[in-house]
Amino acid sequence: MIKVTIDNIPVEVEDGTTILQAARKIGGKVVPPAMCYYTNLKGSGGKCRTCLVKVAQSSVKDPRPMAKLVASCSTPVQDGMVVQNLTSPEVVEARKGVVEFLLLNHPLDCPVCDQAGECDLQDLSFGYGMEETATEEERREFPVKDIGENIQLHMNRCILCYRCVYVADQLTDKRLHGILYRGDVSEISTFISNSVTNDFSGNMIDVCPVGALTDKTFRFKSRVWFLKPMNAHRSCSTCTGKVTAWMFGNEIYRVTGRKDRFGEVEEFICNECRYEKKTLNDWEIEGPRRIKRQSVISANHYEEMKKQSVIKPIEGLMEPPE
């Protein structure tokens, strides 16, 4: 086991753990926001740069600070490492900059976006962004596309986190989906307008942190905060059949994977469970699922919303872990 300190809070983790995972072990405010990293997707992370932290001391052996801020999702901890997240003004500033970059070309069409209310970018900009926008430049625009029968792609909203690419790569057998072009004209696309049809392709929707990939069977059906998330299961030959069913009264409006408190699905589910099983008869309902989001819902309870700012380096705990 290795000892590290994050925002003054000590924690012990296994060798090879990343700073982000160590912070998640502590929980609460020390956890840096992660827009591209996804535990279950190999190779993900390092791209969005929202999880940047400062390493004030590299290890017991090498007490020097690291020269640059590092991506906590892809930097392994070392014994005696001292990490600053919200206690470093530099980190808070840099993160503000990253949020600004992510919003620079974002259409801000939340009022007509199905993701609103459960969008990581909304949460991120609320938690870490600036109040005003400095850009007066035109935003880049792409046409809306269908990629397969059940998924719609709004490339304008995409933050190029590559998560869906890893889903396509790791969960489906024939990868038809990837990134075209480069730089700020990169776009998610399929190979010569092919449809994405594989059994597990729907998980792209769940991993997408924004409203770029949305479920067409749920399109414009309801705002998510009017729905009750319920844990449900069925016996399924393709996946484990453990899902969250989003209900209004006795109706199931949509089915998604079960997301943990860091917004990551616990188990990927198959397309049959996601798109085709939408009646109460299909599912055993277990009970309500607690969802913690800054921006909106938890079975209609708004959780405390708070703007993150620099925390003064204080002795001891900043806040009891969750």
Give the residue with the Cβ less far from other proteins, 77 or 269.
Answer: 77
Choosing among ligand FES, other proteins, ligand SF4, none, which partner's interface includes residue 23 (Cβ < 5 to 8 Å by kind)?
none
Give the 3-state secondary structure of residue 206.
Answer: helix
Structure tokens at 134: 């400095």
Q: Between residue 162 and residue 221, which ones bind other proteins under the rule CB under 8 A?
A: 162, 178-179, 181-186
Within 10 angstroms of residue 96's Cβ, the number of other Cβ atoms is 14
Give the residue with the Cβ less far from ligand SF4, 13 or 213.
Answer: 213
- Report how many residues bind other proteins under the rule CB under 8 A: 34
Residues that bind ligand FES (CB under 6 A): 34-37, 45-51, 71, 73
Choosing among ligand FES, ligand SF4, other proteins, none, which partner's interface includes residue 301 (Cβ < 5 to 8 Å by kind)?
none
What whole-number distance in Å separates Cα of residue 229 and Cα of residue 252?
Answer: 10
Write down the least CB distance from residue 94 to other proteins, Å: 6
Structure tokens at 248: 């209004």
DSSP label at residue 140: P
Residues in Cβ contact with 240 at an 8 Å cutoff, skipping those fewer than 6 apart: 233, 267, 269
* 8 A C-beta contact, residue 32 and residue 24: no
* 8 A C-beta contact, residue 53 and residue 19: yes
Q: How far is CA 35 from CA 45, 155, 184, 209, 222, in A?
A: 8, 16, 18, 6, 25
Choosing among other proteins, ligand FES, ligand SF4, none, which partner's interface includes residue 51 (Cβ < 5 to 8 Å by kind)?
ligand FES
Q: Which of 27, 40, 104, 110 binds other proteins (CB under 8 A)?
A: 104
Beta bridge partners of 55: 83
Give the residue with the Cβ less far from ligand FES, 157 or 242.
Answer: 157
Give the residue with the Cβ less far from ligand FES, 47 or 145.
Answer: 47
| Burial category of 135 from C-beta neighbours within 10 Å (exposed 0-12, middle 13-18, buried 19 and up) | exposed
Q: Which of 16, 61, 131, 137 binds other proteins (CB under 8 A)?
A: 137
Write down the least CB distance from residue 73 to ligand FES, Å: 3
- Judged by the rule CB under 8 A, the positions of this chain that interact with other proteins are 45-50, 52, 68-69, 71, 74, 76, 94, 97-98, 100-102, 104-105, 134-135, 137, 159-160, 162, 178-179, 181-186
